[in-house]
Structure formats: structure tokens, C-alpha cells
């Protein structure tokens, strides 16, 4: 009897944690988008006003920030410095593929960054600034979307986790 109760409690706790983890993804996605926005703002300053080399500009931009996009930018800077690929677009795409499976990063942001990477370093300063502005605007829209998804599904996954745990425990009891 004791074993039965203990295992039921364990099932309920595990499922609740699973639900909390699922809802955490939505929260983390909003945070990642916000970090990405500030990285891009920083990168814009580095490129448009300081004219730093891109790999160094990227390293300067991500120095104080964290989040899942940091891995991507570090990867891009590494590839550029080691000259593993021929162009920035290749380095960019290769690094994007690496973080594609991260559940805390939405497909929309990946798409925005993919298109942004195709334009980066292809034109003069004013034009580059325009591309940065476009990317920022799109990211702002995505942040709003992510916030709405979080409000809608975050709570749902949390309660569903607990309820699923209770259901399994009752059926197996």
C-alpha cells in the first residue's frame, strides 16, 4: 500500500514537472527574442558607427548577454575567424542549423535571422542600417506573438501536466 502511494506521488510530481518544463519553453522563447534584439542593436552600432570586423563585432555584442542565441553567434564568430567557410552567408547558415532544434527558439526567428544573414555585409552603411531596422521590427512582432502564445498555452501546459499525472496515477492505482 505504501509503495503504491509513493509511486503515485512520484508519477504526479514527474508529470507536473514535465508540464512546467513545457510551459517554460514559451517563457524562454520571449526572453531569447529580447536578447536577440539587444544583440542586433549592439551589432548595428558596432558595424555602422565603429566599422569593426564582423567576428570582433559579434564577440563585442554578445559579451554581456546570455540566452540560447549566444551559442549561434559564438559559432559564427568562430567559423569566420578560423576561415572554415568561404562566405558569411555559409557560416551563418551552418550555425543556424546548429541551433535549429532548440525548443526555446521559434521557427519565425530562425527565418528572420536566415534572411537577415543573407543581407549582412552585402551593401553600404545606410543600407545595412535599413536591414537591421527591418529585422528589429520583425523581431518585435514575433515577441508579441510569443507573448500571446505564452499567455495562452503556458498556463494550459502547466495544468495539463498536473492533470495528466493525476490521471495516470488514478488509472494505475
Q: How far apart (Å, rounded) are the C-alpha atoms in residues 46 and 98?
A: 25
Q: Is 171 in the site for other proteins (CB under 8 A)?
A: yes
Pull the grid cell for residue 10: 512520484
Nearest CA-CA partner of 158 in 59, 6, 26, 58? 26
Which of positions 118-157 make contact with other proteins (CB under 8 A)?
152-153, 155-156
- Provide the minimum distance between the beta carbon of 141 and other proteins in the complex, in angstroms, as a whole number: 20
Q: Is 24 in the site for other proteins (CB under 8 A)?
A: no
Q: Is 163 in the site for other proteins (CB under 8 A)?
A: yes
Evaluated on CA atoms 67, 72, 74, 77, the torsion sign reads negative
Q: Is 74 in the site for other proteins (CB under 8 A)?
A: no
Q: How far apart (Å, rounded) are the C-alpha atoms in residues 25 and 143?
A: 14
- Provide the minimum distance between the beta carbon of 172 and other proteins in the complex, in angstroms, as a whole number: 10
Interface residues with other proteins (CB under 8 A)?
152-153, 155-156, 159-160, 163-164, 166-167, 170-171, 173
Amino acid at each position: 500500500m505504501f509503495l503504491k502511494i509513493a509511486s503515485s506521488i512520484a508519477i504526479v510530481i514527474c508529470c507536473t514537472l514535465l508540464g512546467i518544463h513545457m510551459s517554460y519553453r514559451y517563457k524562454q522563447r520571449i526572453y531569447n527574442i529580447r536578447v536577440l534584439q539587444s544583440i542586433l542593436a549592439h551589432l548595428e552600432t558596432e558595424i555602422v558607427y565603429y566599422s569593426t570586423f564582423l567576428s570582433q563585432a559579434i564577440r563585442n555584442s554578445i559579451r554581456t548577454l546570455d540566452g540560447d542565441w549566444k551559442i549561434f553567434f559564438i559559432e559564427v564568430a568562430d567559423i569566420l575567424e578560423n576561415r572554415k567557410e568561404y562566405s558569411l552567408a555559409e557560416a551563418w547558415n551552418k550555425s543556424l542549423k546548429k541551433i535549429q532544434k532548440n525548443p526555446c527558439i521559434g521557427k519565425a526567428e530562425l527565418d528572420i535571422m536566415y534572411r537577415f544573414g543573407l543581407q549582412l555585409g552585402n551593401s553600404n552603411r545606410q543600407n545595412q542600417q535599413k536591414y537591421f531596422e527591418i529585422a528589429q521590427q520583425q523581431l518585435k512582432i514575433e515577441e508579441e506573438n510569443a507573448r500571446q502564445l505564452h499567455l495562452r498555452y503556458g498556463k494550459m501546459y502547466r495544468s495539463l501536466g498536473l492533470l495528466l499525472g493525476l490521471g495516470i496515477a488514478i488509472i494505475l492505482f
